[in-house]
Structure formats: structure tokens, C-alpha cells
Amino acid sequence: MSGERARLFLYDTTLRDGQQTQGVQFSAAEKTEIALMLDALGVDYIEGGWPGANPTDSDFFAAVPRTRAVMTAFGMTRRSGRSADNDDVLAAVLDAGTAAVCLVGKSHDFHVRAALGITLEENLTSIAASVAHAAGRGREVLFDAEHFFDGYAANPSYALDCLRAALDAGARWVVLCDTNGGTLPARVGEITAAVIAAGIPGDRLGIHAHDDTGNAVACSLAAVQAGARQVQGTLNGLGERCGNASLTTLIPTLLLKEPFASNLVTGVGSVSDLTRISRRLDEILNRAPDRSAPYVGASAFAHKAGLHASAILKAPQTYEHVDPALVGNERVIPMSNQAGQSNLRARLAGAGIEVAPGDPALAAILTSVKEREDQGYAYDSAQASFELLARAHLERLPRFFEIERYRVTVERRLNAAGRRISVSEAVVVVRLGEERIMSVSDSVGASGEDAGPVNALWRALAKDLGRWQPAIEDMALTDFRVRIIGAGTEAVTRVIVDSADSRGQAWSTVGVSPNIVDASFEALVDAIRWKLIRDRAV
Ligand SMILES: CC(=O)SCCNC(=O)CCNC(=O)[C@H](O)C(C)(C)COP(=O)(O)OP(=O)(O)OC[C@H]1O[C@@H](n2cnc3c(N)ncnc32)[C@H](O)[C@@H]1OP(=O)(O)O
Ligand SMILES: CC(=O)C(=O)O
């Protein structure tokens, strides 16, 4: 790569290949929201789905959002034995009325014979006829050459003939697909270069890589380095089987890393919204975000080890490859048994607690963190509990309320209709100075289903906290994770509770006990105490 900056086109297939992820099913409204996020990000093409293949995709295209990105409908080349004019699948794709159409077709001789059961010549005719049909109706046509890399390895001249058939029939792009995801980056680079050397220009060539060896992003970068000028992928790497190349990783890499940043230009100007977009997608899918995701993961800029934290505070680039703000993420200096006083002071400062270097409380807090982690606590995942622990050592933890006692019961019985149901009930007694408040709650929600003993405890605890009640009204529990640590009679349960409020604050607390309800209760009480501290501070 040298000379003038070349234009690289970004093609998103979250709404099509992403929807082929096991367990993922978007609604038409969710597709629209995702399409608008992608458009705001600045991708060039949005593949919206396969019109006619299922009602959701048809509904999406029937009310397709207006985007600056080229909206693309996906489909396949005409069926064997049909003319392109008379193919209902192709007709539904064209009826979507999008500016671009992407047609998948075979380019591996083995698949032509085994999957389609037609001759190699018939397949070439089918590719050409289908592309010409769509191009003749004014569409920008892309040809996804399925299994291209395996096909090239088996029969290079036939694989190239498939690309030429599409280009000669009017395709704007031919896309080299590593459909089974088994080709390694060096080989992808080599084959892409060979395709260009065979006369197919790089600015008509795309790459579509799958992640079956964990190399989809590397394969895509190798193809781009070899000269391909369109790169396909999905948000958060969604996609069939192990997923597609993650655009969430690829885009910042192309923008921020050499040799790409200096030699290529894309439609994306800034990636400062990337972390928000990635997490919003997970929210839509009701999936926990991948903490270790490059650039956008919650741990992508978390500096746990004492040596790292100490250096980071002096110069962030000592342990950060890019500034987290560039991708909308943030630096975290968690507390754990790997921490030293640098982590500790940074964490405390982040929570608004200034402590002078050398203050003896620092050593006491560190010892306490390390001892408690040995018992099963995990403060790097429960920063709010850490803050409470530190405040207790520093004598800066207000005594908002005391728990006098609690009780929880779970009963399984037959209801009036003879259906087996369970009902959990909790009683919590708290003291606020001289005041004593007893609250009782069950955990039966609007649906009539029992949400379990921890939910009953939470409801009783949050039902009446006297003068503190207004401060916790907007609090919600967003996640609850349980882990058994150790084995046999030594085993304890660790519970992490995630909470959030209407001001957009999110925090995690931890409880540990041989008894799961007790561990949960400890984490719940911490969650409320942290919220009261924050709201008083505000
Ligand atoms: C590599 C990829 O990820 S490509 C995208 C794949 N995505 C999907 O398959 C999701 C959407 N697909 C669907 O909803 C359905 O498969 C449909 C509606 C397209 C077709 O459904 P059906 O008519 O029931 O066919 P079915 O799915 O069983 O089989 C696919 C048929 O298409 C043929 N076919 C496969 N690829 C192609 C192609 N590129 N060109 C022409 N025909 C093809 C197969 O040979 C098979 O034909 P056969 O039924 O004569 O054996
Ligand atoms: C087209 C496509 O999704 C593939 O070949 O993987």
C-alpha cells in the first residue's frame, strides 16, 4: 500500500448473516433501529436481509428506513431449471426495490456438483443470467462468491471463471467469501493477490470472512492489504456458526492502525460512538456484552495488575494501545488481589475519595481486599462493594440503616386451579436510628409467576427504608450472577448483583456466604448503601 489514500468500502451484514447466528432473531423494528445506528456510524452498505425468505425480512423491506448507506437486499442466483425472469426467490429480492442487490452463488466446483447437482457450465450461465437480470433492472449488483477460497484451492481457474461471469454480466463487486471460515490469514492474502494478478481489479473486490479459526478479522485485513477494497462484517462479530469478521474490531483497526490509517479512507469519520453501539446491540439481543471484546469490552482498558496501574497513572500509553476515549470506552483501574497502592488510590480518587499517599488506611484496605478475595469476594467485578469496604476502613461510611433480621420462605403448592405453583415470601426488619421498620413481600410479578426468594427479599428490602426511600425508588436490579467457589464442605457461593438507576448509573456489588440467600442479601444491601452514598454526594 503506497501513494494516494484509496477508498475502502465498509459493508455491514449484521441484519442478514448476523441474523444467521444461533439464538438471534431480530424483529423488523429492531432491524430498523440497528440500520439507523449503522448509518450514523458511516458504513457504506447495509445488507438488510433476504426479502421473501421470512416475514420479518419482508416487513423490514416493506418499510425500509431511509439511509445514506446503500440499502442492499440479499438473495441467491436463480434456481437450476428456472430462467432468471421466472424465479420467485429472485423476484422477491428485486421486488424489495433496494438500490443494491447481493446475490450469493457457488464458486467451488465441488459445491456446484454436490449441492446444486448441475454442471460447471450451467452454474456459470446461472451466475451470469442472475446478475444480468438484476443489473438490467437498474440495481447495483454484488456477487458473493460462496466458498471462494476452498474453491480456488481445488480449481483456481473455475473459481476465477465464476468471478468473471459475474463481472462480465454487470456486477459492481465480486466478494471473496471464506464461507466455512477455515482459511488462514496468510493464505487469504495470497489468494486475494492472485485474483488481482489474474486481472480482477481490487476496487471491484470484497472480502467476507467467517471466524471459525478465530481469524476472521485477520483474514479481512490480509485481503485488504492484498488490495481488496470492500470489507464485509457484522457488529460484535455476529454471524453463522462462530460469526463473521467483527466490524466493531475492524473499523477502529482500519481507522487507527498502520498501514491502514495512512493508506485508506472509509466513510466512517469517528468511532467515538462505537462502544455505545456495540452495547446497544447486546441490549437488543438481551446478551451480556463480551467484557474482553477488543476496543469496546468493559475490560478492554481495565488495568488490574499493580505494576500496570502504577505505570498507567504516570503515562496511559504504557499499557494502552489507543486512547479509550477514541472508541467511546473508558479506563478502569479495578481493585483485586493483584492490586497495589497505585490501583487503590486511583480507584478511590475515581470514587471522589482523596487519600494521601502513605496513609496507613491504604495498607489496611489492601490487606482486607486480598483477604476477602481469598474467601471468595471478587472486587474487580464489584467495584461498588469495594468502595463501601474502603469507606468503612477510612471511617467514611455513613450508617444509613442496620439490618436487624430477615427471613425468607419458599412454598410449593397447588393453586385453586390445581396447577403447581411456588410462592416466595420475605420479611426484613431494618433500624434507622430509633425507628424500626418491618416490611413483608412476596415475589409474584404481573405475570403471576414467582420470581424466587432473592426477588422477594429485594422487594421487602426496597419497600420501606423510611427517610431513604425516595433515593432508592428509581433503582432496578439488572443482573444476578451466582458462582460456587471451592468444593465439598468448603464451598461458598459468590453472588454478584448488577444495579442501575434512572440517572444512567450502573454498579455491581458482591456477597459471599455458604448460603446463597445470605450471599444475595449481602450484595443487595451493598447495592442500596452505594446508591445512598452516591445520591447524597450528588
Ligand atoms: C453462505 C450463506 O450464508 S448464504 C445465506 C444463507 N441464508 C439462508 O439460507 C437463510 C434464508 N433461506 C431460506 O429462508 C430458505 O433456504 C429459502 C427460502 C431461500 C429457500 O428455501 P427452500 O426452497 O425450502 O430450499 P432449501 O432451503 O431447502 O434449499 C435450498 C435450495 O436452494 C439451492 N441453492 C443453494 N444455493 C443456491 C444458489 N446459490 N443458487 C441457486 N440455488 C441455490 C439448493 O440447491 C436447494 O435446492 P433444492 O431444494 O433443489 O435442493
Ligand atoms: C455469503 C455468505 O454469507 C458466505 O459465503 O459466508
Q: What is the ipTM of this complex?
A: 0.96
Asked if residue 326 is part of any domain, the answer here is no
Whether the CA torsion 31, 94, 74, 134 is positive or negative: it is negative
What pLDDT score was predicted for residue 537? Answer: 61
Distance CA 336, CA 372 (A): 10
Closest CA to 14 of 45, 47, 42, 39: 47
CATH code of the domain covering residue 468: 3.30.160.270
| Contact of 239 with 21, CB cutoff 8 Å | yes
Count how many domains the chain has: 2
Of the listed ligands, the closest to the CA of 11 is 2
Which of 79, 106, 180, 242 to mutate for ligand 1's pocket (most ligand atoms within 8 Å of CB)? Answer: 79
**Closest CA to ligand 2's atom 3:** 17
Distance CA 279, CA 257 (A): 23
Closest CA to 29 of 53, 56, 49, 11: 56
Cβ burial 394-416 (10 Å sphere, 16+ → b, else e): beeeeebbeeeebebeeeeeeee
What pLDDT score was predicted for residue 421? Answer: 86
Among 269, 286, 304, give the residue marking a domain's end: 269
Nearest ligand 2 atom, CA 210: 6
Cβ burial 283-312 (10 Å sphere, 16+ → b, else e): ebbeeebbeebbbbbbebbbbbebebbbbb
What pLDDT score was predicted for residue 347? Answer: 82
Closest CA to 62 of 104, 91, 28, 106: 28
Nearest ligand 2 atom, CA 147: 5
**Closest CA to ligand 1's atom 4:** 104
What pLDDT score was predicted for residue 449? Answer: 80
pLDDT by 10-residue block (mean), the chain, 538 residues: 82 98 95 98 98 95 98 96 94 98 98 97 98 98 98 98 98 98 98 98 98 98 98 98 98 98 96 95 86 95 89 93 96 80 84 87 91 90 93 93 95 87 94 94 80 91 92 90 83 93 90 95 97 81
Asked if residue 21 is part of any domain, the answer here is yes
Number of H-type helices and E-type strands within the chain: 19, 16
Asked if residue 366 is part of any domain, the answer here is no
Asked if residue 466 is part of any domain, the answer here is yes
Asked if residue 322 is part of any domain, the answer here is no
Asked if residue 279 is part of any domain, the answer here is no
Domain extent, residue 112, equals 6-269
Distance CA 99, CA 94 (A): 10
CA of 456 to the centre of ligand 1 (A): 50
Of the listed ligands, the closest to the CA of 245 is 2
Same domain, yes or no, for 86 and 228? yes
Which three-class secondary structure state does DSSP give residue 277?
Answer: helix
Same domain, yes or no, for 227 and 82? yes
Among 236, 252, 269, give the residue marking a domain's end: 269
Which three-class secondary structure state does DSSP give residue 506?
Answer: strand
Beta bridge partners of 413: 421
Asked if residue 479 is part of any domain, the answer here is yes
C-alpha cell at 63: 418499510
Among 269, 286, 314, give the residue marking a domain's end: 269
CA of 144 to the centre of ligand 2 (A): 7
Closest CA to 254 of 42, 102, 46: 42
What pLDDT score was predicted for residue 3? Answer: 60
Distance CA 48, CA 93 (A): 11
Distance CA 420, CA 83 (A): 59
| Contact of 207 with 188, CB cutoff 8 Å | yes
Same domain, yes or no, for 49 and 192? yes
Same domain, yes or no, for 265 and 409? no
- The verdict on the CB of residue 116 being under 6 Å from ligand 1 is yes
CA of 209 to the centre of ligand 2 (A): 8
- The verdict on the CB of residue 179 being under 6 Å from ligand 2 is yes
CA of 116 to the centre of ligand 1 (A): 10
Asked if residue 412 is part of any domain, the answer here is yes
CATH code of the domain covering residue 64: 3.20.20.70
What pLDDT score was predicted for residue 440? Answer: 96
Residue type, 525: V
